[in-house]
Structure 1
Amino acid sequence: MIGTMLELSTYVFFATCVVIFIYFTWSVYNEYLRTKILKKRSKKLAELEELIQINQVASKLEKKIEKRAKGIS
């Protein structure tokens, strides 16, 4: 009886360890994916911000060109 109880508690202990290991691995992998996605998003955001700045400079230049064209005519 005692032998079977020890075997059962050993199995429960190892099963608990396996569940904890799987949960830990899953958590680390999810964090890795989240970090990877955030890096991609930040890279895209930086590119978009750069394009917005270029667009703003271009619109300012267009306004200056229009003013000069009006002044020449």
Structure 2
Amino acid sequence: MSDSPDCGHRYTRTSNGRPGERFPLTATSTWTITWEVSAGAAAGDAGEWTEIRDSTVGVRVGEVQVLS
């Protein structure tokens, strides 16, 4: 099997014994928005805005398999 992409994770043990029997998983997305006015007296760069969103859930891993 190939390695996970940079947004993935390969669990090497179960979540047994962890708080709530789960591993915490957080996904973050970052959006950068740039406005530009294309007509009128205000034509030109109207600014930039960055929005960051996080979401966290618990992931239960009940079995881990070893492949060779």
Normalised TM-score (structure 1):
0.22
Query: Which structure is higher in strand share?
Result: 2
Query: Which structure is higher in helix share?
Result: 1
> Whose radius of gyration is greater, 1 or 2?
1
> Relative contact order (alpha carbons < 8 A, sep ≥ 6): 1 or 2 greater?
2
